[in-house]
Structure 1
Amino acid sequence: MQEKAFDAVIFDLDGVITKTALIHSAAWKKMFDDFLKNYSKHKGIAFAEFTHKDDYLPYVDGKPRYKGVEDFLLSRGIKLPIGDPSDDTSKETVCGLGNRKNDAFNEVLRRDGVGVYPSTVQLMKDLRKQGYRVGVASSSKNCEAVLNAAGLMHLVETRVDGVVSVEMGLKGKPEADIFTTAADNLRCRYDRCVVVEDAVSGVQAGRNGNFGLVLGIAREDNYEELYAGGADIVVEDIESFGIEEMNQWFIHGLERDLWSISYNDYKPEKERSREALLTVGNGYFGTRGAMEEVDANTINYPGTYLAGLYNRLITKVADRIVENEDFVNIPNWLPISFRIDKGAWINMNEIKILSIRRVINFKNGLLERRLIVEDKFGQQTEIKSERFASMENMMLAALKYSLKPLNYSGRIEIKSGINSSVINAGVERYKTLNSTHLNILNEGFENDKLFVLVETTQSKHQVAVAAIFNVEINNVIESVNFEKIQSPGYVSALFGFDLQKDQRLCIEKIVSICSDKEDFVEDTLTSALNALRNAERFNTMLDKSTLQWDQLWNKMDIQIGGDRMAQKLLRLHLYHLLVSVSPFNEQLDASITARGLHGEAYRGHIFWDELFILPFFDIHFPEIAKSMLMYRYRRLAGAKTYALEHGFQGAMFPWQSGSDGREETQVLHLNPLTGEWGDDHSSLQCHVSLAIAYNIWDYFWITDDQDFMKRFGLEMFFEICRFWASKAKLNTQTERYEIEGVMGPDEFHEHAPDSLKGGLRDNSYTNLMVAWMFDKASQILKQFGLSLAIKNGFSQKETDFWSKIASNLHLVINEDGIFAQYDGYFGLKELDWNYYREKYGNIYRMDRILKAEGKSPDEYKVAKQADTLMTFYNLNKEEVDGLLDKLGYKLPEDYLQRNLEYYLARTSHGSTLSRVVHARLAALVNDHQLSWDLYRDALGSDYIDIQGGTTGEGIHAGVMAGTILIALNTFAGINYRNTLLHLDPFLPKKWKQISFKLRFKNTEYRFEIGHQKCRILADKLSSIVLQGNTLTLKANEWKDIECVKKSVN
């Protein structure tokens, strides 16, 4: 007997089981046409009939009755009172019209009875016979009557319909409530259930419910719409996808799906965000997932970025001179286009797209695309493309592009080249600034290769991009003959072929990308051309790159059982972290940017986001973590100069770091809502130096890399300590040290309301982390000895002074145990949050909203993200308790919960990092539902582009790493801040299991953690603390342990 891989099937009613969809459509049409005729006559406008395709399917089909009425009317610009479900059919309210339609439906039902789809009924019988559960979920309030009339009620174990929805207060499609309720009634996990739907809103509900299979039934020839809505499989009739096919999906298809994200439609308004998430890269370069046929325009933005490649430009804006260092968009290697019989070159934003599917495969970094387009002459062409950045050779990328005429024969010309006339235009708010960063030094052809050589205008780094081609027709290799076309900024090859209907033409484009920024590159163009001489064919290159990806995934993969979407998104985040920084970075002078190699936001600079990112690499790829720390070490001299320029000692690292480590932060900021310039005090976020110290300690603690600490880490850590010691000033009245002129992580507060001077005094996060840092300095000194400190220029007197400061720093704490975000915070005004939510909806950027109203966020208790609470994200609460005890502060036992409630209520989540931090803290105070809700939002923040377009400017690397670490540190319960690894799982309820690997103190551990049992494997004899009990692990022997069952809702 074959494996039973799923448990239940939940069917929609209309159009899936019964043929009532057409009755519904006819009833809707009669009701709406009657209404519209009267409405048009009354308003003196032309009557436009209600149609099945343009009105019923997009606005009504599958939705609760009154919701369908409301949505359709709004599509016509008509707004009626909602009314009440008891409204008479004569009333012109939403409910009245809905009831009018229902009367028409019932009249037809009584007269004609109910037709059924025999294949669906047979499947229901087979499912019940073989022990599978069967449910029906429908928006219809007539569901029970229809099932009874069809004689099918005996096959249905649970019915969740319009009547039940009203009784239980369930939301209608596309929300998943009716399907999840049906699955709950059947006591089946969502990931082991099938949802069968024929409406777009229905497949959207199935997707939103995170079901294991969403099966679309295309009764209306609406295959593409159902795929775009979220269906996994679409068939014309369920006869072609029965129990065996469902089982195979759960065994094989679902596993493949968990390694990818896909898009099955083309929505211009979402294209830039999708391009970011479809990026291919290898840590050396990243190329956005723009389509090959497009240049940069208002919809599409192809961009390729090299790690660490910056250029500085000056712009005159109004009466001001502004200098910016930008992350350079290098020549575009993607361009390929085609035309038929000397017609127009294809334009993806003008041609008719009949179908489209794009998939990024996390497992091997392959971006695949298949689409069918139709030109104005009705000629249909199938286009397939694949591309990847090699993880085997950092300089190489490959693209395979194929065409097949579907209903014609003709002359096909393909033009493919390299565009070096690119500028930086990926961020709307930067468009007033100069953006031409490249000068063209050379471009042309060398035998069968084409190339460009450019140089950045200020930093004077050369970049070469070269390409070579292979051609096949119907898998037969053709000679590579092309016409060479060259124009300023664009070099391309023109191929021409006479193709018959259904012949497939395939062109491979192998590309090399090289910069003289790297020490191992002697001659840029020669290196790029030489890389192509040794390049292999597309498939061979892909195989070799895949082997490297396999090794990376073997170290970092996290496997989630029971939560399909969480699994996909965690792998999405893992993939993009390795696109942004990889083992190649050991050879580069670069760190991870806040927005990856995926776009130009924040100008590709390095921020404190490393604090959220580095721990992931510490426990999976310590060599990458070290390379990121070495980026900072190579800029230590610049940090010391920066401190001296501001009157301090030691190392003050810049808030924004780029090519050489100078401060890249602007001192003026343009408010896009007011168009006015204002002072920008962001550079006062000196806590970035604390983040670097934290990362040095974390890396050392986890890896035990003593050589790094002796040669680099101690010096850098102690220079940061020296800076903060010089910044701390003794208040002789209180005998405590104060630190002023800083900003915390909350960027909404730059200065005291009554002060024009930037900066705040005694930011709690800063002072606590300074105390922590000085405490760790004592531990480092004890471990490595005074002689090493003296060798690096530090004395016993100086380190003793640090310890004195650590025990006497000033904090402002009120009688309720609430930390003041900074001295003076409690005197700020409260914000009317309900008022602003109702007025603006999206209030993430409350700072800009307040400034547009002539107010200042500095006057209010409003935070962009966690500030004081960040301390508890970085450190165990026991560590914070110890710091407070040393400082002589006594707080209530529940002070963490009080502070979380206080500050969470005053936070707008203007940073994607905000939810990550608060999810961690909510778990620490045992509010696990809140923790899960915040985590779920953070996990999907880039995928759904929660901030309304920012993902299109580049991913948020910090939140991606943060969600991975929450899965490990909070839900799996890993704690590596003690001498032994600690484990205390608290899994989300829907997570059946989590499995992963990590390295701690030179031991590799494997974990398989469920709700009641854990399995642990270590490659060396070691000990681990599980829920307070110390366990000994023998080398390479699995240990099975019972756990105390705990789970998040």
Structure 2
Amino acid sequence: MTKAFSGQHGSMTTHLVCSLCETPDSQWLLSYTEADPTDEGTREALLTLGNGYLATRGAAPEDTADGVRYPATYLAGVYNRLTSHVHGRTRDDESLVNVMNWLPLTFRAEDGPWFAPGAYEVEHWHEVLDMQHGLLLREAFVRDPGHRRTRLFQERLVALNRPHTVALRTVITPIDWDGMLHVRSLLDGEVRNDNVAAFDALAKEHLHEFATGHQDDAHWIVAETNQSDIRVAMAARTFLRRDDRPAIAAIEDIEGPRQAGHQLSLPTSAGVPVTADKIVTVFTARDKAISEPLEAARIELDASPGFDALRSEHFLAWEHLWKRFHLSFQGDDGTAERRAVNLHVFHVTQTLSRNTADLDVGVPARGLHGEGYRGHVFWDELFVFPILNLRVPELTRSLLLYRYRRLPQARLLARETGAAGALFPWQSGSDGREETPWEFFNPRSGRWMADNSRRQYHINIAVAYNIWLYYQATADVDFLAAYGAELLVEIARFWASLAEYDSAADRYHLRGLMGPDEFHDGYPDRPGRGLDDNAYVNIMTAWTLTRVQEAHEILGGHHTEDLWQRLGVTSDELRQWDHISRRLHVPFLPGGLLAQFEGYADLEEFDWAAYERKYGNIGRLDLILEAEGDSTNRYKLSKQPDVLMLFYLLSVEELAPVLERLGYTFDPATIPETVAYYQARTSHGSTLSRVVHSWVSSRGNREGSWELLCEALAADLADTQGGTTKEGIHLGAMAGTVDILQRCYTGLETRADALRLHPCLPENLKWLDFDLRYRGHWLHFQISHEHVLVHARPGTAAPVDVIVDGRRHCLEGGERILHRLPEKPPHSSSCS
């Protein structure tokens, strides 16, 4: 909708039009009109721009951290450790560092105040995230205390093709005044980590050793992290143009202990736009092929083209990226659904890009968008890698090396646990040590609660699963030989050393750990000491041990025995892994359904209705019950899926053989009942929860699956977790929603050296159109309720097997498959 504004200048009436308001609704635009302090933190996270090397939150350039607004820039892999003394406790925490703020740019007329929150009357405000081009736009009409009205238009980019370059264009147009215009452009080191309210009492100052400087029209700032000693440098230059022509401005240096910048002043007139282009370059001591960060930043700044050229290059880079991540579909709500999916792809790809592949970093659970979870790496990569494997597998390879380089720390952690092999930490940061705190603060009770989530040893399963899925998608046998096999072997050794053998039952048990559920860290009579025989962990451990043996067979044909001798793998060890993979205990409920863990059936049922009436949002029942003097350990309830993760990771065709290998009869017909049983006992206290529940419901309840997908798509957009989005988006959930469209509804698997398809689109989803890369081929897919079309782009890669609904096809470059799907009964809610 077009919005017009009128104003007086002398005897002339000016009619002002918001150009952003004229933009039609689009699947590529996320738009906000009018400033809203109550929602500002969430907007800043959702409007973040990044390029895989760095990201900057969507705060306005004139903003400072004030409890409502929080400008921040994060560099991938730049962590720092601080010691805090809180409530008589001492704790060490490593955090992703909020580095110096490159954004600050503001203006004033004559002797008026600088434009800042609260200093001007805002007549109109409009922000737009252009996801297609990686651009943040803002338009505002403002009035200063002297009643001078000004139009402000800004464009911001974080260059996708130039990882060290960011830029801001600001167009200032006086509406009804003439006189001197002053523009202030700064690099600001007055920053600290202060994005998460729960960390408020903890140490926040991560930077010291500041240095600033000026030369001609450039200025710079340098700082160093005060524990990890990472030197960070920024250099900037601001150009002015008046009425689209170069303008000569008076320049005054601004310099302080933690600030460097310029004030630029020039005369202007009503209706004459003044454009300020700010180009900034960023380097750290971790960067490759540089001598020193400040020198590198200054060289890059001198070589940088102007804003127009930067924008053109940046647009082209995004055009190529969107081609690689092409995913079109037709759902119920048209633009809104596609916008949400595009937003999720956008944030995944600007957190993890080709620029990331050259860095030694993992997958931060909250992106580079905030300080939630301190920027740590969890198991969320399990949900992220599937969309990377089939589009940018070289990026997955690099991110898997983050784990490989931290094998020494994982081996140490396993020994500390009393096990062999390697145990990856539940929370990981710079060097791979366990970063999970021992306790966390419950704001409901005002008490500290024990955090035993370091017992989530199933992170090892996630690493093994990620290695195997990457190999199946790429056939990268060299990676498997050089890195993957060692990771798999050390993970297998961990599980084998943890397994306790009961000779009477001829069964192995895994004790003292937590499953994905997170609400149970022990039994009611021994909290915090872990659980026995979690079904998900035991079954996936059997799957993992089988895959290690398969890797041994694959590599035997490509490499000599040197590999296995180097790893110290013996025939006795292989036999032991085989035996464990066949004899791990799996618990069942009295009715025959999989039990979440041994003893689950003995727990009490929970009064869900009563607590929903009392508290409304009961996602975090652990906090609610602790405040009441109770514990989630007593009840049959889950924060997020646990047993159901089995159906998320493995198709029936893969899960059934694992259970049969373990000596259990498994009837796939019990899956819907199992899903319903655990769905009724889940609080959805994690954004990942609805992703998994949508996936596991897709065959038995297509309508319900679609509804859950739509809820998952809204999780960050609507901040359904109640204030968490402002601390960073949920990267795993965002990737997971895309993967539901890509793999779940299509029944797409990369298993046993074949790409398999078994589509089951919900009625709400009319068709899907996307491109994937599989074993060197770019494949184009068109899938509807009536047919499957797979077209291999011309190329020289070896032929691949594609199996559609059980029918095998050998596909070469340039060939296509057209498969007609059987007609489903009208309004059927399930697929076979």
Q: State TM-score, norm by structure 2.
A: 0.94
Aligned with 1:599 (options 358, 367, 370): 370
Higher helix share: 1
How far does residue 265 in structure 1 lie from its aligned partner after superposition? 2.1
Which residue of structure 1 lines up, in the alignment, with residue 549 of structure 2?
A: 778
Q: Is the 8 A contact 1:932 1:1048 kept in 2?
A: no
2:793 is aligned with 1:1024:
no
Q: CA separation in 2, counterparts of 1:753 and 1:810? A: 22
Q: CA separation in 2, counterparts of 1:590 and 1:749? A: 30
Q: Is the 8 A contact 1:469 1:480 kept in 2?
A: no
Which residue of structure 2 lines up, in the alignment, with residue 1036 of structure 1?
A: 814
Q: CA separation in 2, counterparts of 1:353 and 1:952? A: 23
Give unpaired runs (5+ residues) of structure 1: 1-214, 220-226, 235-248
Which residue of structure 1 lines up, in the alignment, with residue 194 of structure 2?
A: 425
Pairs within 5 Å for 1:647-1046:
647-785=418-556, 787-924=562-699, 926-1019=700-793, 1021-1045=799-823
| 3-state SS, counterpart of residue 894 of structure 1 | helix
Which residue of structure 2 lines up, in the alignment, with residue 14 of structure 1?
A: none
How far does residue 757 in structure 1 lie from its aligned partner after superposition? 4.7
Q: CA separation in 1, counterparts of 2:3 and 2:52? A: 42
Which is worse superposed, 418-427 or 1001-1010? 1001-1010
Amino acid at match of 1:457: N
Q: Is the 8 A contact 1:807 1:886 kept in 2?
A: yes
Report Cα offsets for 1:732-753 as digits up to 9, x if no partner.
3322111111111111111111
| 3-state SS, counterpart of residue 343 of structure 2 | helix
2:215 is aligned with 1:446:
yes
| 3-state SS, counterpart of residue 383 of structure 1 | strand
Q: CA separation in 2, counterparts of 1:958 and 1:1045? A: 35
Q: Is the 8 A contact 1:846 1:857 kept in 2?
A: yes
How far does residue 262 in structure 1 lie from its aligned partner after superposition? 1.1
Which residue of structure 1 lines up, in the alignment, with residue 8 of structure 2?
A: none
Aligned with 2:99 (options 304, 327, 330): 330
Q: State TM-score, norm by structure 1.
A: 0.75
Q: Is the 8 A contact 2:469 2:750 kept in 1?
A: no
| 3-state SS, counterpart of residue 976 of structure 1 | strand
Which residue of structure 2 lines up, in the alignment, with residue 152 of structure 1?
A: none
How far does residue 519 in structure 1 lie from its aligned partner after superposition? 3.5
Q: Is the 8 A contact 1:560 1:566 kept in 2?
A: no
Q: CA separation in 2, counterparts of 1:704 and 1:492? A: 52
Pairs within 5 Å for 1:577-592:
577-592=348-363
Q: Is the 8 A contact 1:276 1:953 kept in 2?
A: yes
Q: CA separation in 2, counterparts of 1:325 and 1:480? A: 44
2:121 is aligned with 1:347:
no
Q: CA separation in 2, counterparts of 1:666 and 1:428? A: 16
Which residue of structure 2 lines up, in the alignment, with residue 619 of structure 1?
A: 390
Amino acid at match of 1:420: G
Q: CA separation in 1, counterparts of 2:21 and 2:308? A: 28
Pairs within 5 Å for 1:213-232:
none
| 3-state SS, counterpart of residue 469 of structure 1 | strand
What count of residue pairs does the alignment treat as equivalent?
807
Higher strand share: 2
Pairs within 5 Å for 1:2-41:
none
Q: CA separation in 1, counterparts of 2:281 and 2:267? A: 30
Which residue of structure 2 lines up, in the alignment, with residue 113 of structure 1?
A: none
Aligned with 1:608 (options 379, 389, 403): 379
Which residue of structure 2 lines up, in the alignment, with residue 462 of structure 1?
A: 231
Q: CA separation in 1, counterparts of 2:214 and 2:4? A: 50
How far does residue 524 in structure 1 lie from its aligned partner after superposition? 1.0
Amino acid at match of 1:934: L
Q: CA separation in 2, counterparts of 1:908 and 1:700? A: 35
Q: Is the 8 A contact 1:374 1:380 kept in 2?
A: yes
Q: Is the 8 A contact 1:581 1:591 kept in 2?
A: no
Report Cα offsets for 1:253-292 as digits up to 9, x if no partner.
56xx222211112111111111111111100000001011
In structure 2, do the counterparts of structure 1 residues 502 and 652 end up closer, same or farther at CA, with 3 Å as the change threshold? same
Amino acid at match of 1:1035: G
Pairs within 5 Å for 1:72-221:
none
2:245 is aligned with 1:476:
yes
Which residue of structure 1 lines up, in the alignment, with residue 148 of structure 2?
A: 379
In structure 2, do the counterparts of structure 1 residues 349 and 858 end up closer, same or farther at CA, with 3 Å as the change threshold? farther
| 3-state SS, counterpart of residue 698 of structure 2 | helix
Q: Is the 8 A contact 1:987 1:1048 kept in 2?
A: no
| 3-state SS, counterpart of residue 791 of structure 1 | helix
Which is worse superposed, 964-973 or 604-613? 964-973
2:286 is aligned with 1:517:
yes
| 3-state SS, counterpart of residue 204 of structure 2 | coil
Q: CA separation in 2, counterparts of 1:991 and 1:886? A: 37
Rg larger in 1 or in 2? 1
Amino acid at match of 2:822: V
Q: Is the 8 A contact 2:690 2:712 kept in 1?
A: yes
Which residue of structure 2 lines up, in the alignment, with residue 500 of structure 1?
A: 269
Q: Is the 8 A contact 1:373 1:380 kept in 2?
A: yes
How far does residue 233 in structure 1 lie from its aligned partner after superposition? 7.1
Q: CA separation in 2, counterparts of 1:673 and 1:742? A: 27
Q: Is the 8 A contact 1:599 1:955 kept in 2?
A: yes
Aligned with 2:346 (options 566, 575, 588): 575
Q: Is the 8 A contact 1:258 1:564 kept in 2?
A: yes
| 3-state SS, counterpart of residue 987 of structure 1 | coil
Q: Is the 8 A contact 1:929 1:1048 kept in 2?
A: no
Give unpaired runs (5+ residues) of structure 2: 6-16
Q: Is the 8 A contact 1:305 1:327 kept in 2?
A: yes
Q: Is the 8 A contact 2:391 2:772 kept in 1?
A: yes
| 3-state SS, counterpart of residue 944 of structure 1 | coil
In structure 2, do the counterparts of structure 1 residues 1040 and 783 end up closer, same or farther at CA, with 3 Å as the change threshold? closer
How far does residue 400 in structure 1 lie from its aligned partner after superposition? 0.4
Q: CA separation in 2, counterparts of 1:816 and 1:232? A: 60
Q: CA separation in 1, counterparts of 2:140 and 2:358? A: 39
In structure 2, do the counterparts of structure 1 residues 911 and 774 end up closer, same or farther at CA, with 3 Å as the change threshold? same
How far does residue 480 in structure 1 lie from its aligned partner after superposition? 5.5
How far does residue 435 in structure 1 lie from its aligned partner after superposition? 0.2
Q: CA separation in 1, counterparts of 2:512 and 2:82? A: 29
Amino acid at match of 1:1043: L
Report Cα offsets for 1:914-946 as digits up to 9, x if no partner.
00101111013x211111111110011111111
Identity of aligned residues (%): 37
In structure 2, do the counterparts of structure 1 residues 1010 and 349 end up closer, same or farther at CA, with 3 Å as the change threshold? farther
Q: CA separation in 2, counterparts of 1:350 and 1:738? A: 66
In structure 2, do the counterparts of structure 1 residues 477 and 943 end up closer, same or farther at CA, with 3 Å as the change threshold? same
How far does residue 1039 in structure 1 lie from its aligned partner after superposition? 4.4
| 3-state SS, counterpart of residue 483 of structure 1 | strand
- Taking only aligned residues, the RMSD between alpha carbons, in angstroms, comes to 2.1
Q: Is the 8 A contact 2:703 2:764 kept in 1?
A: no
In structure 2, do the counterparts of structure 1 residues 892 and 592 end up closer, same or farther at CA, with 3 Å as the change threshold? closer
How far does residue 764 in structure 1 lie from its aligned partner after superposition? 0.8
In structure 2, do the counterparts of structure 1 residues 1048 and 613 end up closer, same or farther at CA, with 3 Å as the change threshold? farther
2:64 is aligned with 1:295:
yes
Q: CA separation in 2, counterparts of 1:937 and 1:402? A: 39
Q: Is the 8 A contact 2:195 2:370 kept in 1?
A: yes
Q: CA separation in 2, counterparts of 1:455 and 1:780? A: 44
Aligned with 1:393 (options 136, 147, 162): 162
